[in-house]
Structure 1
Amino acid sequence: MLRLHLHLVSDSTGETLEMIAKAALAQFEDADVTRHFWPMVRSRQHLDRIVPDLAANPGLVLFTLVNAETRARLEEHCRQLGLPAVPALDAVTEALESQLGQEARGRPGRQHTMDEAYFKRVEAIQFTIAHDDGIGWENWEQADIVLAGVSRTSKTPTSIYLANRGFKTANIPIVVESPPPDALFRLRRPLVIGLTTAPDRLVQIRRNRLLSLHEDTETAYVDDDRVRDELKYARRMFADNGWPVIDVTRRSIEETAAAAIRLYNQRSSGEDGAGDQGIKPI
């Protein structure tokens, strides 16, 4: 198994650098990677404090540092230690400079400035948390997206992810014995999206959930026939109301959210086909 120490050095929160590293590492199998995370490195003194760890755990250094002096000092330390140092955003920044005909502004954390988009995201997160699992249905008309699905179809984590992208998202569990409020079927502004999955996969997820809670696994909640009936009931509801459907069986939370955003943007731009997805899951 390949072993690697990966040092992530950022002058801001490091969120961008972490996502780049995660996406790149996903391309490699059987890699044992130890990550060393160094956010908010904005001074020579702070940088010097992490050098002993670089020396003690030699590996690859990825960095996003816009201050020329701090960056040069890191690169010099890496040269002395014989460590490869990769500026993660240089190629993209240089390409943008070429296309835009201007130099990039070297301000740490510029992408995290508290602008209108930041406050929109905060508002979306607050709304989503307050409207999880069918709560606050009286305010669903204020949502951008409403996710509907039977238990354990990733409604809550997908909602939170969408909220972090700035979408006010509510979600509602579809339960055969307890139909959703009529307000769900009268919504005009939000895009209602149905989430579905393969019955066998759903049974497995529910069973694992019960085991983690040390609860009895011999219940209707994980009965094969009962689960299939639940999914059929939900799918019929989605089709009857013309709601688009996303099959989450082989999708990660990020992929499900991306599909939801695509459907939302299609409807917002007036493209045809979004309403027909309720018949065939994407």
Structure 2
Amino acid sequence: MNKSRNYFHLHLVSDSTGETLMTVARAATVQYEDVQEIEHVYPLVRTQKQLDRVISEIESAPGIVLYTLVDQGISDRLERTCRDLGVPFVNILTPVFSVFQSYLNVTQTHRIGGQHELDAEYFKRIEAMNYTMLHDDGQVWEDLEGADIVLVGISRTSKTPTCIYLANRGIKAANVPLVPDIPLPAHLLNLKKPLVVGLVASAERIQQVRRNRVLSLQAENYNDTYVDRKEIAREINMARRLCSDNGWPLIDVTRRSIEETAAEIMALYRTYKAEIPGITI
């Protein structure tokens, strides 16, 4: 029997993009079962006039307020409003800044959105993202040698979202689907620079995800073997054998989040590049 969910309003106020707030908020809310947040996101709040709208929204739908605001005047006004309304509020970066300041003994610069500067790292991530999107799901196989990491796996092993996560870390990631009875590109087996990593999951998990995929697309003419457990098991064995034959590391993603899978891949890549001269991340 499904339990009823408790809903609450969650206001995320930022003078930058709000990405930091959303990441922290979602990491926190996922820890509470049967509770569902209603997110109100307010990015680029840098003037008192912009804060007026935020305060109006909080007054209309009171709830938890998380914020990252560098301007002291705007921050103070938001806090006063929250106190008057009796709603909880947290500047999520204050404890972090306190630790950094006490340990480093330096003054905070109060730069808005400093983590999003258009520096070399930013452009590296953009280049990686462009490469990854161009090489998704076996597209443009000819220049896989330009990748940092190539993921191989059967359908529904989270290859694409894992590649996108890696690209956001500045890693050029391509992925190649493993399809029964369809030969792989010959040069995949002879790559020199990229680390090739295989992804697998349990047959039960893949079958469940594929069934949900078919239902969501309302597909009527799909191939029955796509969700057949025996066929899925055959595909998994094929993937395991391919990785074993070529010495590729294999990761079981059955009970892993995208972040956990990507973290293990990045650890493998750090070891890999340390063993091969000339490779830099």
Equivalent residues in 2 for 1:206-217, closer than 5 Å: 206-213=210-217, 214-216=219-221
Name which of structure 1's ranges 212-221 and 45-54 shifts more when overlaid on structure 2: 212-221
1:219 corresponds to which of 202, 224, 233: 224
- Structure 1 residues 215 and 255: alpha-carbon distance in aligned structure 2, compared to 1, 3 A threshold: farther
Displacement of 1:176: 2.3
**Deviation sequence 1:112-152 (CA, Å, 0-9, x none):** 11111110000000000111111111111110100001111
1:173-210 CA distance string (max 9 Å, x none): 11221121111111111110000111122122222222
Q: What is residue 128 of structure 2 aligned with on the other side?
A: 124
Aligned to 1:182: 186
Displacement of 1:270 after TM fit? 3.8
Runs of 4+ with deviation above 4 angstroms: none
**Match in the other structure for 2:47:** 43
Name the residue aligned to 1:243.
248
Residue 279 of structure 1 corresponds to none
TM-score, structure 2 as length reference:
0.92
Offset of residue 218 of structure 1: 6.3
Instruction: Identify the residue that residue 277 of structure 1 maps to in structure 2.
Output: none
Task: Report what 2:235 is aligned to.
Answer: 230
Question: For 1:254-265, what aligned pairs fall within 5 Å after superposition?
Answer: 254-265=259-270
Amino acid at match of 1:133: D
Structure 1 distance, partners of 2:6, 2:180, is 49
CA distance in structure 2 between the partners assigned to 1:224 and 1:29 by the alignment: 31
Matches within 5 A, 1:88-237: 88-213=92-217, 214-216=219-221, 219-237=224-242
Equivalent residues, number: 271
Question: What percent identity do the matched residue pairs reach?
Answer: 51
Cα drift, residue 240 of structure 1: 0.7
SS in 2 for 1:133: helix
CA gap of 1:34–1:212, structure 2 versus 1, over 3 A, is closer
Q: 1:157 corresponds to which letter in structure 2?
A: P
> Could you report, residue by residue, the CA deviation over 1:17-56 in whole angstroms, capped at 9, with x for unpaired residues?
1001111112111113211111100011111222111111
Q: Is the 8 A contact 1:210 1:216 kept in 2?
A: no
Counterpart of 1:202 in structure 2: which amino acid?
Answer: I
Distance in 2 between residues matched to 1:114 and 1:176, nearest whole Å: 44
Cα distance between partner residues in 2 of 1:82 and 1:204: 45
How many angstroms apart in 1 are the aligned matches of 2:274 and 2:104?
Answer: 27
Q: Distance in 2 between matches of 1:80 and 1:105?
A: 30
CA distance in 2: counterparts of 1:197 and 1:85, whole angstroms = 41
Aligned mates of 1:226, 1:79 — CA distance in 2: 60
**TM-fit CA distance, 1:93:** 1.0
Q: Deviations over 1:198-233 (max 9, x none)?
A: 112212222222222222466122222222111111
- Which consecutive unaligned segments of at least 5 residues does structure 2 have? 277-281
For residues 274 and 95 of structure 2, the distance between their equivalents in structure 1, rounded to whole angstroms, comes to 32
Offset of residue 78 of structure 1: 1.6
SS of 1:226's equivalent?
Answer: helix
Contact map agreement 1:207 1:217 (CA 8 A) in 2: no
Report the equivalent of 1:276: none
Secondary structure in structure 1 of the residue aligned to 2:136: coil
Matched, 1:8 2:12: yes
* Distance in 1 between residues matched to 2:250 and 2:86, nearest whole Å: 52
The one-letter code matched in structure 1 to 2:102 is: S
Structure 1, unpaired ranges of 5+: 272-282
Q: Distance in 2 between matches of 1:115 and 1:58?
A: 39
